[in-house]
């Protein structure tokens, strides 16, 4: 039994939310609207003259140091990774995201609120089939202790391992077959996390202005500072999978492959995507109409 969707999908109606940008501290209103087939995910800045828009694609990424930022022609859209994870996790191919500031709202630091919002809109199947990236040969990238690899698979799988020299995290490993149900239940609610000293440094440099215990898990030397504790015992590694789903959504099409990550983050995931596009002989793009067209498990 597979839970892969073969037709393109979009939201059934427009839905809105608002919040603050985690780095800018700026209030932003956001509306997700239905879009036609082969449109992709586009972000539109309604606060700028002529309301320019940009496609959420790897080749539009301009910065990954603190968050994923896309930009083009002198304007940017920042911190798109959690909403992008929701679109990818729910297999939404086409949507127009309108916003009236440059940074996405951080909400509660997870993809839970975006996932609920999209489900509230409803999801409809469209007439055209989806085109997938199908992995033919392994692609691997390693630097020091960081590693990302992708391997042939008949489904989209992610296995992630993190290791921190901290008693609350240490080594955590988690593996999922990405489907809308598993994403919603096991991944979407996992929040961003940070160490107290890092948060203080960011604030000193005028960053993380909108950051608070309402939108991140914050850890000091020994404890979790948030009063309510964790949402999952291994919330940290689950959030890294959430980020990975958001980063890999910038391929622009759904993926059939097994992604393996070790101590990676946004910047190294993007270095891997660059390697991915350089290794064109290792994958192909294929329209898949039904289960019989799926690649055979290796
Ligand atoms: Zn994140």
Lookup result for tokens 């992610």: 158
pLDDT for position 96: 98
As a three-state string, the secondary structure of 150-193 is EECCCCEEEEEEEECCCCCCCEEEEEEECCHHHHHHHHCCCCCE
pLDDT tens string 199-250: 787 777 777 777 888 899 999 888 898 989 999 999 999 999 999 999 999 9
pLDDT tens string 95-144: 999 999 999 999 999 999 999 999 999 999 999 999 999 999 999 999 99
CA of 170 to the centre of ligand 1 (A): 19
- Residue 258 known to be catalytic: no
CA of 87 to the centre of ligand 1 (A): 14
Across the range 260-281, mean pLDDT stands at 95
pLDDT for position 209: 77
pLDDT for position 2: 56
pLDDT for position 1: 46
The mean pLDDT value of the chain amounts to 94
Ramachandran area for residue 281 (φ above 0: left; ψ -120 to 50: alpha; else beta): alpha
Residues with CB under 5 A from ligand 1 (ion): 192, 243
Across the range 175-201, mean pLDDT stands at 92
CA 121 to chain centre: 20
Strand partners, 11: 123
Across the range 77-102, mean pLDDT stands at 97
Which residue, 147, 179, 150, is CA-closest to 163?
147
Structure tokens given for 231: 């949402």
CA of 83 to the centre of ligand 1 (A): 10
CA of 240 to the centre of ligand 1 (A): 7
Of 258, 266, 270, 289, which is the active-site residue? 266
* Percent above pLDDT 90 for the chain: 79
């Amino acid at each position: 039994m597979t839970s892969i969707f073969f037709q393109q999908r979009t939201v059934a109606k427009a839905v809105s939310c608002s919040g603050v940008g985690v780095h800018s501290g700026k209030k932003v209103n956001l509306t997700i609207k239905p879009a036609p087939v082969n449109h992709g995910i586009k972000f539109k800045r309604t606060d700028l003259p002529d309301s320019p828009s940009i496609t959420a694609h790897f080749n539009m990424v301009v910065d990954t140091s603190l968050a994923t930022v896309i930009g083009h022609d002198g304007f940017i859209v920042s911190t798109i990774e959690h909403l992008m994870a929701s679109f990818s996790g729910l297999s939404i191919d086409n949507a127009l995201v309108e916003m009236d500031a440059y940074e996405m709202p951080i909400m509660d630091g997870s993809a839970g609120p975006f996932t609920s919002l999209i489900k509230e809109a409803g999801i409809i199947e469209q007439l055209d089939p989806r085109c997938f990236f199908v992995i033919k040969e392994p692609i691997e990238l390693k630097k020091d202790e960081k590693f990302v690899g992708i391997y042939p698979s008949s489904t989209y799988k992610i296995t992630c391992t993190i290791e921190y020299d901290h008693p609350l995290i240490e080594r955590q490993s988690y593996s999922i077959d990405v489907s809308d149900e598993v994403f919603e239940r096991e991944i979407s609610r996992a929040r961003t996390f940070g160490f107290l000293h890092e948060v203080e440094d960011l604030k000193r440099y005028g960053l993380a202005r909108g950051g608070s215990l309402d939108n991140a898990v914050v850890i000091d030397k020994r404890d979790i500072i948030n009063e309510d504790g964790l949402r999952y015992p291994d919330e940290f590694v689950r959030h890294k999978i959430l980020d990975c789903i958001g980063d890999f959504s910038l391929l622009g099409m759904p993926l059939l492959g097994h992604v393996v990550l070790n101590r990676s983050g946004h910047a190294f995931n993007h270095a891997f995507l660059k390697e991915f596009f350089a290794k064109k002989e290792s994958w192909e793009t294929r329209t898949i109409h039904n289960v019989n067209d799926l690649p055979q498990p290796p």
